[in-house]
Structure 1
């Protein structure tokens, strides 16, 4: 095993002269074997090693095991770093423990200038991990198993024992008379990994002794397949997706030109992008719902995907982002000569036509509607959000629902909810800003124009 390990390490550049390599050692047979092999290689190839150990304090024997490992490292002149896990959660212990371990490893890598972290995952761990992931979610992205090498904490993370079975590791540990210890919790069948290890893996190995090699093969193929998919999806996203702060958007027509298989992986790629940058999770169920809605040819729809996140389709634009802050209904009373902000992006004034309006600096470059007003335009108007049933008199013989006007103008749903209407004190709609004005409020050519309504928006 030592000869094979040395050849593999040289071939795959696990080490080089002057390397500083941190070993994650629990004290079990696999991590002790890694420690022994790397200690021998470090003497032969002139690099240094250190040992990182987490005392999870989940078992009475944890403290004694940590002491024994510390003593072993002292006797062999190996740097030893220990950390106790003080805040053990009541649920999700396995995932919390993993996060705690890797946070400690990151800290050691940065503080003591280690360039490589090595863990003792082996071929049986690979099989168990892939089975667990397939049982849990059946996702290609997650099914690939444990990577042999990846970037980590400014350096790299290597798992050099992945080619070896648990039996090979135990055989070597016995031959070397290593003082490893067994974690009795590995035999508790209330833990899924233990059930797979004790009840399923032996059956698979008995069915085909090559099962570990086959799963290693499958894992590598899945990694390569995922890399190909990611490259293709990244290229499409780069060319078609716009990212503004915490939102992503793209043209639906461009998306629908993709084959169905690429649509799925494109959305999955975007979901992973959002998860990394914004810590929002889009479930498989929601991915499938988005795909179905996009092919349903519905002009507008909205899908909540998290407490404060949504997917919004507005005609040919699809946006994944945070829900807009709800604008509580407000009512403004304006008289001739009044001006003011309706919102952060809207400003309104009713002024004398020959008055030189003193515009706020921020609104000067905004879009504007300047509407001359009829002589009988009321001295006081109310500006409020539209409500169901609002109607506006566009012509003497044409009265139309405000909601219908918004649909005809293809105003997106989110903007419809923000639309302001101008009414008189009797609730007669005089204008829908900035879309339509009642014929009752528009000055005719024969009128002598006294006032105008100025609406600035962006």
Structure 2
């Protein structure tokens, strides 16, 4: 067992090791192995506030680290909903914070072969991508940190035997017996059935994990080559990819945004990209959405649409609700904004600035055109349409769409210079 731990951590022998210790047999066996191998350690413990014994375990680990003169980092987690998922993200966040605090990039956890098999079965049941189906990576590098799991090839029974043989004190987590969580039900009912089968090849689980991980690594390399340095999918090129690469492109973009997904969502997004109209959106969460804009698709933060209507004073400095300013003059002496010659009729004042509406019309020498059709012809993305500022007279005739259209009808008999700036849609 020591040899395996040393093999996984060999490249990091001169670094501080952040080790997550729960108080259970697996993490305390790992902690003792790392001690015997003379690694410089920082012990991190999480109290999930699920058991009365949690305080006892924390006190024991604090006392142990004080005796050994090892730094002890203790976090009490307060989780209201989606316990297992939120707990995972919080533990990872705090482990990274501790690693930064101690100027290291190595984080070690005590996942073992039983955890690997549980995770594989869980992913199969819920659906995932290729890496998810592989279960747990023995070692990987992400967000600037090395995540290492040196006990992954050992069954839990072997860890228990090692603890007894070396008189390592550990605590039993009674919450693992609860059937409240799907993972626990796999652990308590499905795994015991598999263990009863003498021919069940536990060793082949590692081979399965390695095969899928290698295949995924090759696939992910292809995905990154396709995207290059861009955060956007070129839809025409995407449609030519094999389906398995399309799926991984979607997974990669979702992972980069730290968004949860399953096979149904991946399939929906592929259909969205390949089949939706030229301007469309797909909600991913409360904060993020997938956007399709003509030839490209990408993830962005959701943008609140600000709709407004505001009268304009020709003699004042007008500031609109979206942060754009507008002012008027017979002739501006300096140019610190965009200036246009606006045609209007003096008997149709006041002028009004607003956002677009259904049925808006633009006027040309040959007649009129719906603003919606103008946008389609000019391939203006939806987000920019919603930001556009339209100026009309008091009869509703559109005089200008800032940056896109100017009404030059002969019936507009007066002219004034309009200057605008600020957060203008381009």
> Does structure 1 residue 200 correspond to structure 2 residue 169?
no
2:219 paired residue number: 229
1:328 paired residue number: 307
Q: Partner of 2:213: helix, strand, or coil?
A: helix
Q: Partner of 2:114: helix, strand, or coil?
A: helix
CA contact (8 A) 1:23 1:51 kept: yes
The alpha-carbon deviation at position 204 of structure 1 amounts to: 1.9
CA contact (8 A) 1:334 1:383 kept: no
> Does structure 1 residue 295 correspond to structure 2 residue 274?
yes
5+ residue gaps, structure 1, are 242-247, 444-449
1:171 paired residue number: 161
CA contact (8 A) 2:328 2:417 kept: yes
Compute the TM-score of the two structures, normalised by the length of structure 1: 0.73
Alignment of 1:274-289 (within 5 A): 274-275=257-258, 285-289=264-268
> Does structure 1 residue 439 correspond to structure 2 residue 418?
no
1:383 paired residue number: 352
| Deviations, residues 178-206 of structure 1 (Å, cap 9, x unaligned) | 44443333322333333222211122233
The alpha-carbon deviation at position 357 of structure 1 amounts to: 1.8
Alignment of 1:240-389 (within 5 A): 241=230, 248-275=231-258, 285-296=264-275, 298-333=277-312, 344=323, 347=326, 349=328, 351=330, 356-361=331-336, 363=337, 366=338, 369-370=340-341, 373=343, 378=347, 380-385=349-354, 386-389=356-359
1:122 paired residue number: 112
The alpha-carbon deviation at position 424 of structure 1 amounts to: 4.1
| Deviations, residues 436-456 of structure 1 (Å, cap 9, x unaligned) | 52634467xxxxxx7355566
d(CA) in 2 for partners of 1:326 and 1:261?
36
CA contact (8 A) 1:338 1:350 kept: no
2:51 paired residue number: 59
5+ residue gaps, structure 2, are none
The alpha-carbon deviation at position 359 of structure 1 amounts to: 4.1
| Deviations, residues 195-231 of structure 1 (Å, cap 9, x unaligned) | 2222111222333545322221222222222222222
Compute the TM-score of the two structures, normalised by the length of structure 2: 0.78
The alpha-carbon deviation at position 331 of structure 1 amounts to: 3.0
d(CA) in 2 for partners of 1:451 and 1:255?
49
1:244 paired residue number: none
d(CA) in 2 for partners of 1:399 and 1:454?
24
Q: Partner of 2:226: helix, strand, or coil?
A: helix
d(CA) in 2 for partners of 1:19 and 1:394?
71
CA distance 1:266–1:199, change in 2 (3 Å): same
Larger radius of gyration: 1
d(CA) in 1 for partners of 2:114 and 2:381?
54
The count of corresponding residues between Structure 1 and Structure 2 is 419
CA contact (8 A) 2:41 2:71 kept: no
| Deviations, residues 290-311 of structure 1 (Å, cap 9, x unaligned) | 3223322633223333334333
